[in-house]
Amino acid sequence: MNQVYFDNAATTALRPEVIDRMVEVMREVPGNPSSTHAVGRKAKSIIEQARKTIANYLHVSPAEIIFTSGGTEADNLIINSAVRDLDVKHIITSPIEHHAVLHTVEHLEERFQVKVSMVRIKECGSVDLDHLEELLQSSDSKTLISLMHINNEIGNLLDLEQVSNLARTYNALFHSDMVQSVGHFDLNLSEIKVDFIAAAAHKFHGPKGVGFAFLRKNSKIKSLIFGGGQERGSRAGTEAVHNIAGMETALIKAQENLNAERKHIEEIKWYFKEQLEKNIPGVNFNGNCHDGSLSTYTLLNVCLPVPPEKSLMLLFQLDLKGIACSKGSACQSGSDQGSHVLNAFLPQDKLDKPSIRFSFSHENTKEQVDYVVQSLKDFLK
């Protein structure tokens, strides 16, 4: 049976160089990076070099990078601390954010009576920036904007520069979950004045369980985890040196190969779209994922012309054929709620059909695309 992995937006395979680097560190660097002896200092130097690598990639200061267990922790650190330490009373976000943001905001609204405003979503699944400005104009308290750069389900891109300019105009703070963009795009945070971002290594062929937060200098964000004074007091706990080294290597390789791999992945995406349109009449694409200028090159969210009685079996049948992908609607999840992202903007007739997110990496091939398209054709028969 063929094995096709088209779920790279969920997680990516480790690059061989990342595995080698992690094994090297685990074997040769046993020290605690907080220890002052030579073995500890060696571990500490690995962490600080990784911090410099990430900072250089983002064009920021190393002191502005804080290592976390991943994107979820980074989002939680930023949003919670903004309310607790920065006197934020109003959070503007959107209904299509990752649950790491939405559930955190819900908690703060319930526990601390923070005002929460949801910016409108357009028919294409994009954030309505005119409505965002209206919300900022009417805000009478310290405000945090929390909007993701790339939507993890439909791939829509946020105009970071425009949002950051609005934030500056109305004296608001701007946090962006960049879990889907770090390692896949050139990001210059010296030009884009976002205050905080979150990232996760396993989205760019690094290890799971490690990520980072970018905290703009003098932001006064404080730790949510107490213990030792690690990460300049912003995140207590002994650092996972091997994971941090693996993340650094993954980011280095992503940058080295960015142009070539992007070209390859774009070819896979557009070939897949072309073959779906050619072989499956009635296929549709959710959000802006069909438009290369308005979405990431790494995914397609596909609405398939499958009758309701067959929808629940679609992902199961693809799994039996060795195809890994992600559900995107109630038809596949068996849940009345389905995807909160799709529910936010799709009309009911499209919600009644199954939607699947296919997401790609440099390891995918056109032969795999052909196999998936044929499998879908067989299912529809």
CA atoms within 13 A on the CB side of 79: 30
Please provide the distance, in angstroms rounded to a whole number, between the alpha carbons at the two ends of the chain.
20
Instruction: Judge whether 214 and 253 are in contact, CB under 8 Å.
Output: no
Could you give the 3-state DSSP secondary structure of residue 304? coil
Annotate 28-54 with three-state secondary structure.
Answer: HCCCCCCCCCHHHHHHHHHHHHHHHHH
Instruction: Judge whether 263 and 271 are in contact, CB under 8 Å.
Output: no
- Supply 286's token pair: 């959710």
| CA–CA gap between residue 97 and residue 220 (Å, rounded) | 25
The catalytically annotated residue of 289, 303, 325, 331 is 331
Annotate 143-205 with three-state secondary structure.
Answer: EEEECCCECCCCCEECCHHHHHHHHHHCCCEEEEECCCCECCECCCCCCCCCCEEEEEHHHHC
The reply to whether 325 belongs to the active site is no
CA distances from 187 to 32, 111, 181, 209 (A): 32, 35, 8, 23
Could you give the 3-state DSSP secondary structure of residue 118? strand
- Supply 53's token pair: 């690598």
- Give 248-275 as a DSSP string: HHHHHHHHHTHHHHHHHHHHHHHHHHHH
> CA angle, 109 as apex, 107 and 110 as ends, to 5°?
65
301-333: burial string, b at 16+ Cβ within 10 Å, e else: bbbbebeeeebeebbeebeebebbbbbbbbbbe
Residues annotated as part of the active site:
331
